[in-house]
Structure 1
Amino acid sequence: MTLDLPAVTAALTTVTPLPDGDLAALAAAVRAQADRQAIADLGVLYARAVDDHDVDSVVAMYTADGVFERRGVAAAGPAEIRAAYVASFDTYRTMLHTPHPGVVRLHGDGTASGWSHGHAELATRSTLVLASFRYEDDYRCEGGRWLFARRSITFMYAVPADEMATSFGSVERMRWPRTAPQAADYPESSPTWDSYRD
């Protein structure tokens, strides 16, 4: 996903003063903060549910028409989403996802979008995989509750721990066990990656 980072940065870091005595504007500002906090909490609770292999809680965090996408492969609806997570849980005996702060843009119509990033340690029966990831998210508020309408994950790297030092400087930082090395999803794919050299 291409992000107009200068525009998003300006929009999310500019605080518009509230008009004196405008209670409606104040109420809207408080609601926006509550919405952003609920979405941030959703991301943290998601990480805990994944690490606990709590598939019921994970699936319940998606809308009924929700989509989970991993590196371009989409799972749509509760049954497919459940199957995608069960496959991951069956692969990784122990998982530790550490989400980092993200950004959220509220659209004013009960939807929002945002992105966040994080790190993970994923243990198979024989290997510890270290990963750094980004989530690109679409959210929808249903019945007063914020849910994932779409959650898409891409990776900066995913490598066995003992290969980290030799692989981090390479473009081929996707080294899942028993697979051939592949190019990482980012940052080299970003249109700004080499632009400063122009």
Structure 2
Amino acid sequence: MPIALSSDKPLIIDILSAAFDTNQSVNWLAGTSRQRVKNIRLLCAYSYELCSMFGEVYVSEDRKACALVLLPDQKKLTAKSIGLDIQLVLQTIGLLQLPKALKREAAIKRAHPKAALYHIWYIGVEPAEQGKGIGTNLLQELLQRARDLNRLPVLETSTLQNLPWYQQQGFEVYRELELGYRLYCLKAAGIEKV
């Protein structure tokens, strides 16, 4: 599984923006204004940068899928991370939505198991390429990477239709959060603590 290069950032933003265009959780942050598409791209760019700093970023060999992984225990406050947070608030979320966004992030963090996590923040496949096994292959490689690092794979989805696919890949729902939409918290099945 190729680690993404900084030159892959535009491709990754394109893939994620298209794959998450109708995602409830992403649109909850991006809003419904005329700026929604731009906001989704800004959110994907923010996520790319954060995972580049405190996790891992992958692009599939065929360059049709990608994944952003966060290692939460590696995340630190730095001048760059603070700058990214401020930019996200001012350009995407907005000051009025900030309290709701912070409450949402705190709820997700509280829901996470107490373990060394491999947080699959985003996994996306170009919409025209979905259903061809590209995402399945990428997810299986991510699960192997998590095992190699002795970390518990976790992720969240607000897309009910994705649950059977995640369950087929070895995930189980361990918590549901009501955040103005239902968010399903999943972890690799059969692993309690790492």
* Common topology (TM > 0.5): no
Structure showing greater relative contact order (alpha-carbon pairs closer than 8 Å, 6 or more residues apart): 2
Q: Which has the larger strand fraction?
A: 1
TM-score between the two structures when normalised by the length of structure 1: 0.29
Bigger CA radius of gyration: 1
